[in-house]
């Protein structure tokens, strides 16, 4: 589920469909995305929420390998991509609250469509300010995993809809000298924080260096037991490191999220077997 953009570019699929059709379009999509997946039927209530909120809502059915002795388990996962909604010159609280309101509407739509687990994008509560290399005001978006306003906001939605939410934020570690981390918070269907996972690999590419704000995780590759399965979170740049995926799988992850905030050629992802 992605926020509609006011820019002229309306997404890869729209651009492809404008130039290609039939078998040729199907083959290009197969090369880009892998085998085709059957579209899910979206409930009318969810479609209306998406229309009213001016964002796209699509769903696909992905089959896992069938087993002989265990019945299949159905899990619906929603991935939300957002955009900022107030000028970056507004106050930190105004910007964050506007994003909360927007993403809250998207979570309502995802829940109406039957989602069990919802994953948000990297540092979803703020603009992607790491490219500026300026600490203020951007580090003021950092908040506590357990008592911060974002966790409080999402915990209510998790309980309301019986869902698990993966919430990547800029963390201020109140337990250790207010150190800043790039962290994903896992919130259970009961609204309780199950745990946190931090970014394992920090990009240092030319002038783009996130270590201005935070360093690599010291938590390893945690996997979280939830009502709907075992979850791992491989944040952003970690996707370029095959062993990162492997270790999450070895630790028992059934679903691995890759929340990202990236632009241009930095987002190029060479597929790896893991």
The catalytic residue positions are 122, 199, 236
Of the candidates 231, 158, 167, the residue with the CA atom closest to the CA atom of residue 188: 158
Taking a C-beta distance cutoff of 8 angstroms, is the pair 19, 75 a contact?
no
> Where are any strands of DSSP class E within 108-228?
117-119, 164-173, 179-187, 193-198, 204-205, 208-209, 223-226
User: CB atoms < 10 A from the CB of 37, how many?
Assistant: 12
Of the candidates 189, 241, 199, the residue with the CA atom closest to the CA atom of residue 222: 199
Rounded Cα distance, 66 and 63, in Å: 8
CB within 8 A of 130, min separation 6: which ones?
123, 138, 208, 210, 212, 213
Rounded Cα distance, 38 and 40, in Å: 6
């Amino acid at each position: 589920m992605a926020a509609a953009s006011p820019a002229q570019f309306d997404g890869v699929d729209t651009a492809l469909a404008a130039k290609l059709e039939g078998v040729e379009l199907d083959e290009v999509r197969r090369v880009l995305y892998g085998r085709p997946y059957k579209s899910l039927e979206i409930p009318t209530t969810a479609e209306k929420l998406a229309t009213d909120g001016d964002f796209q809502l699509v769903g696909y059915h992905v089959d896992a390998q069938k087993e002989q002795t265990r019945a299949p388990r159905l899990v619906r996962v929603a991935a939300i991509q957002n955009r900022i909604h107030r000028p970056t010159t507004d106050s930190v609280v105004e910007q964050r609250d506007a994003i909360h309101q927007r993403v809250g509407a998207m979570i309502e739509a995802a829940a109406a469509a039957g989602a069990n687990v919802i994953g948000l994008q990297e540092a979803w509560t703020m603009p992607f300010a790491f490219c500026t290399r300026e600490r203020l005001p951007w580090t003021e978006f950092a908040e506590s995993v357990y008592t911060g306003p974002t966790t409080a906001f999402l915990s209510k939605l998790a309980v309301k809809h019986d869902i698990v939410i993966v919430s990547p934020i800029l963390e201020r570690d109140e337990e250790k000298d207010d150190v800043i981390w790039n962290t994903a918070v896992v919130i259970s269907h009961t609204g309780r924080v199950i745990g946190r996972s931090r970014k394992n690999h920090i990009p240092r590419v030319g002038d783009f260096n996130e270590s201005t704000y935070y360093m690599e995780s010291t938590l390893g590759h945690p996997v979280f037991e939830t009502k709907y399965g075992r979850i791992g979170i491989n944040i952003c740049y970690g996707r370029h490191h095959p062993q990162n995926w492997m270790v999450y799988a070895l630790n028992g992850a059934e679903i691995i999220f890759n929340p990202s905030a990236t632009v241009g050629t930095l987002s190029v992802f060479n597929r790896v077997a893991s």
